[in-house]
Amino acid sequence: MRKCRSLVTLIGKLCADRIMERTQLQGPINATLFSPAQLQSIVLSNNQLNGSLDLGTNYGSQLLLVDLQNNSISEFAQGTGYSKELLLLGNPFCQKMPSSENCIVPQQPNSSYATPTENCVALSCNAQQLLSPNCNCANPITGILHFRSFSFSDFQNGSYYTLLQAAMMESFKSDQLPVDSISLSVPLKDAYDYLEVRLDVFPSGVYVFNRTGFSVITSQLNNVTFVKLPDAFGPFFFILNTDNYFTGSNKSSNTGIVIGAAVGGSVLMLLLLMAGVYAFHQRKKADQATELMNPFASWDQNKANGAAPQIKGVLSFSFEELKKCTNNFSEDNALGSGGYGTVYKGTLPTGVLVAIKRAKQGSLQGSHEFKTEIELLSRVHHKNLVSLLGFCYQLGEQMLVYEYIKNGTLTDCISGKSGFKLSWTKRLGIAIDSARGIAYLHELANPPIIHRDIKSTNILLDDQLIAKVADFGLSKPVDNNEVHVSTGVKGTLGYLDPEYFMSGQLTEKSDVYSFGVVMLELVTGRKPIEHGSYVVREVKTAMGNQRTKDSSNLDAILDPALDPGKPLKGLEKFIDLAIRCVEELAANRPTMNEVVKELENIQQLAGFNGNAEMVSTSKTYSETKEGSFYHDYNKKAFFEYSGTFPHSEIELQK
């Protein structure tokens, strides 16, 4: 998604006319925006502008139109003396003041403009001919110019059309086409808010264009580079009037009429088809541009999904962009798959490696979790949280684009699937990294965020084995004034806070409990629930009701990869802290901030340097991967949310 832009960056940069509809501008409007002397119109509709609108008294003398429809303007200072066209329909102000003249639906202008003719004597042209601006009766090429954008509202102001007419005649002359003059008339807006202008092109020195002249001129009118348009006009396409142009133009030759009509009709049909195809592609491009500016225009705002995601600081990728960077979602780029969908490795045009999580139809995640992850990760940034780079919500696709994390999940590193073993010092460092990331969510995010699914498969390790917390699909923002949030119980079996499970009341201490289970995994190398045993209960039993320190009991629960029997500095304090984190009563658990401080103290007391290399391995990571396929995304647990669990499936006993 492109970043929202502030109006402050636009002040002083506007020239005669500016259209910036649907460009995600946000914030209040400063009166100096309207002060440039040369400014004639400003269209900033369909944005996120808010606050009170005050045009001030120093607005430009040439300012004829201010269009601020469909924003969030709550007040309007009406004593500024501005008497030209000001459109505020679709703002909260108009809900309070619906009768204000600025809140009325703009009426379709009735324009009777037509290119003026010279001082012609009264001439009578026959039924097939029109009077040209140069006072000649002739049979013109007639059609409609459709302008996709324009920057004025006074359709009867002939100065705009005079400039357009001069520009088009200059193009005809530079191409040495047989054109005597052109006439512009009846400008109006169509149902798509395009500007339609009738165009008559008169032949030079004859009453009618020959077939060659007709073909070349109509072809040039659909060449987007043919005319250098005045600033007030955007790109256009031309649709020819389909009346039989050659009929009756040369009554002296019936054969010529028949042949001319047949050939001309064929050319007209071909040109009409080309014009239709061109118009379709132009409309498609316009729709794609609108979709890029508002990627969630098609969001289904039902009760489950809620309003469209509000995002900051991440990119909105098109489907084609992600298709290209994954080699058409090639199986060779697939890193793994699960209930949610498939994760692909991709390379952006900048050379940056990314992981692209692509949902499949009927995935376990759904739009609500997709929205949650985008909204939360787009506004939180910390070295121990996985970074969301962007997303794609297009063509029915839901895709999330993350930074590429090289070295697997914590689960795989503990189990040995990653191909190397973690030393005790590195495990302590990973615990500190993870705790810092969670503490940031609780203490520094605004509003605070409860992750709700802390587990070892949601902790990833980068190429320096720095831990990063991932997967925010179940996370829950909490108002600063709320002590707890009542919510349906969601999480992963074995990590669920018993108090949250029983009461449905979610607090930050629920994350503390889950993190305590992760700490015990780091020590024991065991899964939370394995062969009917719950690691929390097993450790508490081995510790002798949490107080007796028997080394033999400790050795029995330690991960064999830690070389039981060998002194491990700070181990007992680490286990004590983990036991306090998994207390059944939330009030007896420390906060994550306290957990971070205690872990840092354990690291210092043990004499470890947190910045030193702390990996114990007989092979390097790259050596282990050489010649074999492996990645942290290649497992179901990374993709799936475990959802709501029945009470009978969790072990809460000591």
CA distance 596 to 602: 10
Q: Which residues are annotated as a binding site for ATP?
A: 357
| 145 bridge partner residues | 197, 238
What is the structure's pLDDT at 253? 40
What is the structure's pLDDT at 628? 31
List of the chain residues with pLDDT < 70: 1-24, 79-80, 105-113, 118-124, 127, 191-192, 224, 242-266, 268, 278-313, 338-339, 361-369, 371-372, 473-490, 545-553, 609-654
Pairing mode, if any, of strands 505-506 and 485-486? Answer: antiparallel
Q: Fill in the amino acid letter for 187.
A: P
What is the structure's pLDDT at 215? 85
Residues in the chain: 654
What is the structure's pLDDT at 328? 93
Torsion of CA 37, 41, 47, 52, to 10 degrees: 60
| 230 bridge partner residues | none
Catalytic residue among 17, 180, 453, 559: 453
In order of 264, 265, 333, 639, the CA distances from 241 in angstroms are: 13, 12, 52, 57
Q: Which residues are annotated as a binding site?
A: 357
Q: Rounded to a whole number, what is the distance in angstroms from the first to the last CA of the chain?
A: 48
pTM for the model: 0.50
Q: Are 215 and 240 a contacting pair, CB within 8 Å?
A: no
Q: Are 389 and 402 a contacting pair, CB within 8 Å?
A: yes
User: Which DSSP state fits 332?
Assistant: G
CA distance 407 to 386: 13
Q: Are 144 and 238 a contacting pair, CB within 8 Å?
A: yes
CA distance 433 to 458: 13
- Token pair recorded at residue 419: 């191909």
- Positive or negative, the Cα torsion across 40, 44, 49, 50? positive
Based on the number of CB atoms within 10 Å of its own CB, is 398 exposed (0-12), middle (13-18) or buried (19 or more)? buried
Collapse the DSSP code of 150 into the 3-class scheme (helix H, G, I; strand E, B; otherwise coil) and give the result: strand
Q: Are 459 and 470 a contacting pair, CB within 8 Å?
A: yes
Backbone angles phi, psi at 307, to 5 degrees: -70, 165
CA distance 319 to 395: 7
- Token pair recorded at residue 524: 């024991």
Cis peptide before 447 (omega within 30 of 0): yes
Q: Are 90 and 72 a contacting pair, CB within 8 Å?
A: no
Is 200 a residue of the active site? no
Instruction: Identify the residue whose tokens are 């996120």.
Output: 48
pLDDT (tens digit per residue) in 521-550: 999 999 999 888 899 999 988 887 445 555
Cβ neighbours around 611 below 10 Å, total: 7
Instruction: Give the DSSP H/E element, type plus range, for residue 228.
Output: none
What is the structure's pLDDT at 624? 35
Contacts of residue 180, Cβ cutoff 8 Å, sequence gap at least 6: 132, 134, 136, 138, 202, 203, 204, 205
In order of 10, 542, 543, 651, the CA distances from 572 in angstroms are: 60, 12, 10, 25
Contacts of residue 188, Cβ cutoff 8 Å, sequence gap at least 6: 108, 109, 111, 155, 195, 196
Q: Are 561 and 546 a contacting pair, CB within 8 Å?
A: no
Q: Fill in the amino acid letter for 512.
A: V
Cβ neighbours around 319 below 10 Å, total: 14
* Side-chain half-sphere CA neighbours of 342 within 13 A: 14
- Positive or negative, the Cα torsion across 535, 537, 541, 545? positive
Instruction: Identify the residue whose tokens are 């086409």.
Output: 177
Cβ neighbours around 612 below 10 Å, total: 9
Q: Are 402 and 386 a contacting pair, CB within 8 Å?
A: yes
Q: Which domains does the chain have, with CATH numbers?
A: 5-103 (3.80.10.10), 130-290 (3.30.70), 307-404 (3.30.200.20), 407-649 (1.10.510.10)
- Token pair recorded at residue 149: 């954008």
CA distance 125 to 137: 6
| 130 bridge partner residues | 138
